[in-house]
Amino acid sequence: MNAALALPENHIHLWLCLDASINDPDCLECCERMLDKPEQARRWRFHFPKHRHQFLLTRALVRCVLSCYTDVRPEEWTFIQDAYGKPAIAGPEQDQPLHFNVSHTDGLIVVAVARQGTVGVDVENLRREGSTFELANSFFAVPEREWLRALPSADKPRRFFELWTLKEAYVKARGQGLSIALDSFHFRLDADGGDILFDAADSDPCRWHFWSWSLFGDYRLALAAMSDKANVFQVEVAGAVPALAGDAAGRALGGVLPATSFPIFSPSDMALLGASRLRAYQE
Ligand SMILES: CC(C)(COP(=O)(O)OP(=O)(O)OC[C@H]1O[C@@H](n2cnc3c(N)ncnc32)[C@H](O)[C@@H]1OP(=O)(O)O)[C@@H](O)C(=O)NCCC(=O)NCCS
């Protein structure tokens, strides 16, 4: 069994998986064997193969990632959902709390892992189809709508996705779904995307921390976390492939990559984390 990966209380780990390029049959078979019966049933309810594929890899990724921190095997995890659908670990019981949140969009899965539960992640593919801009914009808070309206047209889509992912990450961290009105809190972003200011009617803004990154050119990723303590979070990012194909341990049920073989990146390296680097890592 691999040595458990350390996750200090004030750290958040982000695991990124470019799922569309993972097609090794051995790897996929290994992932399949990790899913429990309800997950298998849910998987086959997806109409399109690409959605089934992403669902399979999401479930396997969550299981493999969680197993990096303990001696629990990926197929041993059980999960529950709260009243708003936020998944959490049901068992096996852990000495130290372990929490996660998942987001997926066309081509990319992200899993955030932390020791405290108020963590939310959202990723969006900027090339997604549909009239999301107009629709979602009408639910944003007034300052956000005014800010977007005043922007040059060329900047609007990018800044819209920055806001959208931040808002989703916050809603997901709180775990109460869309019972939180999207205009009950708002963000102010500076011109170059550096500073993120936040205000909310029903939550202490000072306790919240936010991060927002552009990723692989096509994606926007946001992370939200709340802490009652003064210690600032440290975020680390790793590329991940559940049950790496060709790896002897990976083929055995429950095998995961040795934790030490995962490259861990700091947020400042995010821009450098190119798709080719991840792909090279998968080979
Ligand atoms: C379900 C919701 C939590 C996120 O949905 P989403 O952004 O479409 O999808 P994401 O891929 O980011 O997240 C889905 C994952 O979040 C997790 N999740 C589900 N309910 C959750 C909740 N209440 N809180 C936190 N996470 C939740 C699940 O793990 C889910 O993935 P899974 O079903 O494969 O396990 C919800 O906020 C939603 O429906 N959002 C869409 C609302 C919208 O239109 N927003 C406009 C812009 S602000």
Q: What is the pTM of this model?
A: 0.87
CA of 197 to the centre of ligand 1 (A): 23
The sign of the dihedral angle between the CA atoms of 144, 224, 38, 90 is negative
Domains of the chain: 1-116+227-283 (3.90.470.20), 126-208 (3.90.470)
Distance CA 195, CA 211 (A): 9
In short, whether 103's Cβ falls inside 6 Å of ligand 1 is yes
In short, whether 39's Cβ falls inside 6 Å of ligand 1 is no
Chain centroid, CA 26 distance in Å: 25
CA of 261 to the centre of ligand 1 (A): 30
Distance CA 246, CA 269 (A): 28
Angstrom distances, CA of residue 115 to CA of 20, 98, 211: 29, 5, 18
CB-based contact 125:218 (threshold 8 Å) = yes
Q: Is the confidence at residue 221, as pLDDT, over 50?
A: yes
Q: Is the confidence at residue 111, as pLDDT, over 70?
A: yes
CA of 172 to the centre of ligand 1 (A): 7
In short, whether 182's Cβ falls inside 6 Å of ligand 1 is yes
pLDDT at 243: 66
- What are the tens digits of pLDDT across the range 7-21? 999 889 888 888 888
Written as six digits, the tokens of 196 are 């993120």
- What are the tens digits of pLDDT across the range 113-156? 999 889 999 999 988 766 567 777 789 999 999 999 999 988 88
- What are the tens digits of pLDDT across the range 51-105? 999 999 999 999 988 988 888 988 999 999 989 999 999 999 999 999 999 999 9
pLDDT at 252: 30
Beta partners for residue 173, in sequence order: none
The residue whose CA is least distant from atom 10 of ligand 1 is 103
In short, whether 86's Cβ falls inside 6 Å of ligand 1 is yes
Task: Name the band, by pLDDT with cuts 50, 70 and 90, for residue 231.
Answer: low
CA of 235 to the centre of ligand 1 (A): 21
Look at 266 and 198; give whichever has higher pLDDT: 198
Nearest-atom number in ligand 1 for the CA of 105 is 11
In short, whether 133's Cβ falls inside 6 Å of ligand 1 is no
What 8-state DSSP symbol labels residue 65?
H
Give the CA dihedral 31, 33, 36, 37, nearest 10 degrees: 120
CA of 100 to the centre of ligand 1 (A): 13
Q: Is the confidence at residue 257, as pLDDT, over 70?
A: no
Contacts of 23 (CB under 8 A, 6+ apart): none
Contacts of 29 (CB under 8 A, 6+ apart): none
Pocket test for ligand 1, best of 172, 184, 187 (most atoms within 8 A of CB): 172
CA of 283 to the centre of ligand 1 (A): 31
Alpha helices in 196-255 (DSSP H): 248-251
In short, whether 161's Cβ falls inside 6 Å of ligand 1 is no
The residue whose CA is least distant from atom 37 of ligand 1 is 177
Contacts of 258 (CB under 8 A, 6+ apart): 2, 249
In short, whether 87's Cβ falls inside 6 Å of ligand 1 is yes
